[in-house]
Every structure is written in C-alpha cells, then in structure tokens.
Chain A
C-alpha cells in the first residue's frame, strides 16, 4: 500500500530453512535498531511441502504485519517462483535460486538476481545452507542490512543450539555475497 517499508518474502519447500532465513533477517534488522515484524506461513506444513516466511523491515513504525505484495521475493524453488513472482510490486526484486528454478518467470517489470544457491551450498559441503547463500546474494544486491549484522545474527542463532554449524553458515553467507557482482 504505502511503500515506506521493505516487505520481504522468503519462500521454498519445507526443510529448506525459509523460516530460519526470515528469522536471521529479522534479527539482523533488530540489531540495527530498525522496526521489524515477522510472520511464517503455518498450518499443514511439512517437509517437502511449500513454506514461506515474511519480514517487514522499516525505519518507521510498522502497522499491518502482512505482506501481500512483496518488494522482494527470495525464491528457493520453482513452485515458490510460480506462486509469488506475480505478486511482487512493480520495480521489485526477485532473488532466485537457479539451482532449483529452471523456468524463469514472465515479469519484465521486476529486477532479478540469479544465484545457484543450492550448488554453492553443496560445494561448501552442506546443502542445507542454500538459504544462507541466497541471503548473502540478497544483502549484496540491496545493502538493506549490513553483512556484519547478518553474520552476528547467524552466530547468535546457531551458537546456542548447533555451534558446529556457525562456521559453514558464515561461509555460505560470504559465498552468497561473492556470488553477486
């Protein structure tokens, strides 16, 4: 409606870590003292099904927390592109995991960033970090948040539960940053 916030949707299949990716974005924004709301699709979700997570980041107070027409869609698989690309605002951005999206969408009024996130994740030895790779690409393209904030958020989230995964996720994030010119 009023374009004062950045509305982001992260979408993929269940198990790709879209909720985690949204969480990391939200936490990074909190670290930068921005206004943030976050929501996840919930309901009959399961591993392999579709899932999405929405985050609004703003310098001003956020009223409605819903994202109907995202400014940015971070797309991890084909069904998510099919579903969310048509909803992106004019001149919006799609960040696409081209490892798993073969048919590019039909919009010619949005910008696209393509990154082979799953392949890069595989090359790092942990295919589950594709979500973090694509976050890196998104941050590099938009500069919406400082990379240091995202790295701190990754450290914060992983170090309590899975400290062994901190390093590979930071590598994945940096690979995403490097993957975009």
Chain B
C-alpha cells in the first residue's frame, strides 16, 4: 500500500498509531521522506485528517491510514474534505468493534464506510481489495479516482490484509483515469485571482441547496462511471455467494469444494462498495435461485445485496462478528445447507 502510494506521487502522510495498521505509518516514516515527501505522526487522528485537508487544499497528493476506532475519529474531517471537494486517500484496516473492540480483523465498519460515517449528505468512494497485489493496484488507482472526482477515497481493508504477507509485482504507475488540472488549489495567488476553499455556505440562503444539488449530480456521475466487481463461476451458478475483501478469498475455497461436489455455486465480489455494483447482481439474478452473503459482521453488507436484487431472491446469511473470520469449512457447510 505504502509503496503504491509513493509511486503514485503521494507526498504527504499524516497518521496516528493504532493496531493493526501500524506497518503503514512505520513504512511511510522512513520511505516517504526518502521520496521527498513529508511524514507526520500527528498528535491525534483528528489532527491527522485535518492535516490531510490542508495538504490536499495545497494540491499535494496525500493519505492517512488508521483502523476502526481511529477512523471514527476522522469522520468529521472526512465530511469537511468531501464538502470542500478535495481529493485524498484514507485507509481503514478494520478491527473488531464496537468501541475499542479488539485488534483482530473485522468488516464491521461497512455502514460507516459506505453509508457515510460523518455528518451531511455526502458520499465517498470505497474500494475493497482482497489480496495484497490488489491493495497495491487499488491504492494507486485510489489517488487517481480522488483527483478525477475531487473526492475522498477510502480503502476498506481489515486486520488480516493489514498483517499478512504476499508477493506483489511492482508495476510502473500509470493513471487509470484522466487527471484534470488542479485549478482550485491554494498555492499562492500571485498573478491570479485569489481562491477560497470553504465548507460553510450561509449566504445566499439557497447556496447550500444548490451545492447539494451539484453534489448529487456529481455522485450520480461517479455511480454511472465507477463500478468494479469480480465474478467467479457465476455463469451457471444457482447459488451466488456475495462477499468482499478477505472474506471473498475465503469463500473461493468453499466454492471450489462445492463445485467438486457438483454444486453450482459462484461468487460476486464487489471491489467498489460505493458505488455498489448493482448491475452485476441484476445480471445473475435471472439464473441464480438464491444468494448467500458472507461477511465479517452480523449483517451490514447483506442489506446492499438485497437492495441490488430488489429482494427478488432469498438471501441467506453467514456472518461472524467480534473480529473473527469464517473458515472455508464453515462457508462450505452453509453452502451445502442452503443449496437446494
């Protein structure tokens, strides 16, 4: 993640330590300065996210990372950054919750990530990698989406992805979308009109209504343009498993085992959680008799799957809370139980 960020031109990182993502600031603290960037261990998560606000307003590609309780603290700043339409990348390597919870892996922050953890009518792009090579690629892309749409992008990982090791192949950074000129940044107004970055819109009275209308159009555009999703063996699947992130990886082992027994099971793995890849679900709904949602929470992501198929098929559920993960064996058992 860090290497990808640096290669993608991230030159400012501010963060505050929390397990299980300390490897990110640790790596950044030594490698970012070597690349000519600035690393700051902030005095708190709030300070870190507001430093990101400032760095982004100054036009620098910037990033912060944390884990669940720390990301909660950042929500105020994220709302402000979304309101100011500034690009930035935020990583959340989720741990068990609520509260301080534990330091194991979890997917309990889905609602916070996808439905808006801060106040106000805003959206952030949420990317959910399931392997380390994918973290590498999506982190680079995250900076591009952030700049392209002038919007915060959240990388939603978990404690397992944060702690595991896997080889990656380094690839030279190449933008995945067009990068518009940053004509809004505050970099000294000598020779041009001054610019203002603000989030308080009091006058005229309708200013905020208009701004929200404008954001609505922007979010609709993002929804129409940016949907990433992976399908596995769904062509003939009668039971479609839906899972994201690390859980999808675990599910693949269970699906392979089910296929060996002749059960027609496939997988849809959303990579963007917002925008949600509804179309992929609509596409398979004609063939699939049933869905099975697997997630490391007691039921958050499952709601979006039901919405995506308009509840037109039964949606079974296997969730694990408290920072625990489902084993392939457990998912396989569930597949066998619900497959008819």
The stretch from B162-170, B178-186, B218-226 touching chain A is B162-170
A107–B153 Cα distance when bound, in Å, is: 51
Chain A residue with minimal CB distance to B102?
A43
Asked if B254 CB lies within 8 Å of chain A CBs, one says yes
| Docked-complex contact B165 and A23, CB < 8 angstroms | yes
The stretch from A30-38, A94-102, A131-139, A161-169 touching chain B is A30-38
Chain B residue with minimal CB distance to A43?
B103
Residues of A close to B164: CB separation below 8 A? 37-39, 65
| Docked-complex contact A63 and B166, CB < 8 angstroms | no
A1–B160 Cα distance when bound, in Å, is: 20
The stretch from B10-18, B53-61, B278-286, B321-329 touching chain A is B321-329
Contact pick for A40, options B163, B167, B325, CB 8 Å: B163
What is the interface of chain B mostly: helix, strand, loop, or mixed?
helix
| Docked-complex contact B160 and A39, CB < 8 angstroms | yes
| Docked-complex contact B163 and A42, CB < 8 angstroms | yes
Chain B residue with minimal CB distance to A35?
B167
Within 8 A of A (CB), among B144-194: 160, 163-167
The stretch from B73-81, B112-120, B245-253 touching chain A is B245-253
A30–B260 Cα distance when bound, in Å, is: 29
A40–B103 Cα distance when bound, in Å, is: 13
Contact pick for B257, options A1, A37, A38, A65, CB 8 Å: A1
Residues of A close to B166: CB separation below 8 A? 36-38, 65
Contact pick for B249, options A36, A40, A65, CB 8 Å: A65
Within 8 A of B (CB), among A99-135: none
A1–B326 Cα distance when bound, in Å, is: 13
B311 to chain A, nearest CB (A): 29
| Docked-complex contact B256 and A63, CB < 8 angstroms | yes
B297 to chain A, nearest CB (A): 18
Known contacts: A1-B257, A66-B325. The answer to whether A26 contacts B249 by CB under 8 A is: no
Asked if B87 CB lies within 8 Å of chain A CBs, one says no
Asked if A68 CB lies within 8 Å of chain B CBs, one says yes
Chain A residue with minimal CB distance to B103?
A43
B160 to chain A, nearest CB (A): 7
Asked if B108 CB lies within 8 Å of chain A CBs, one says no
Residues of B close to A39: CB separation below 8 A? 160, 163-165
Within 8 A of A (CB), among B309-340: 325, 327-329, 332
Residues of A close to B165: CB separation below 8 A? 23, 26, 36-39
A38–B167 Cα distance when bound, in Å, is: 9
Q: Which of A1, A23, A43, A68 has the most C-beta atoms of chain B within 10 angstroms of its own C-beta?
A: A1
Known contacts: A38-B166, A64-B249. The answer to whether A2 contacts B257 by CB under 8 A is: yes
A1–B255 Cα distance when bound, in Å, is: 11
Asked if B266 CB lies within 8 Å of chain A CBs, one says no
Contact pick for B253, options A2, A30, A38, A40, CB 8 Å: A2
Contact pick for B329, options A26, A37, A68, CB 8 Å: A68
A101 to chain B, nearest CB (A): 27
Asked if B20 CB lies within 8 Å of chain A CBs, one says yes
A88 to chain B, nearest CB (A): 16
Residues of B close to A38: CB separation below 8 A? 164-166
Chain B residue with minimal CB distance to A36?
B167
| Chain B interface residues toward A at CB < 8 A | 19-20, 103-104, 160, 163-167, 246, 249-254, 256-257, 260, 325, 327-329, 332
3 tightest A-B CB contacts, nearest first: A38-B165, A63-B252, A64-B250
| Chain A interface residues toward B at CB < 8 A | 1-2, 23, 26, 30, 36-40, 42-43, 63-66, 68
17 A–B contacts from the bound complex (CB under 8 Å): A1-B329, A2-B253, A2-B257, A38-B164, A39-B163, A39-B165, A40-B163, A42-B163, A63-B249, A63-B250, A63-B256, A64-B253, A64-B327, A65-B160, A66-B325, A66-B327, A68-B329
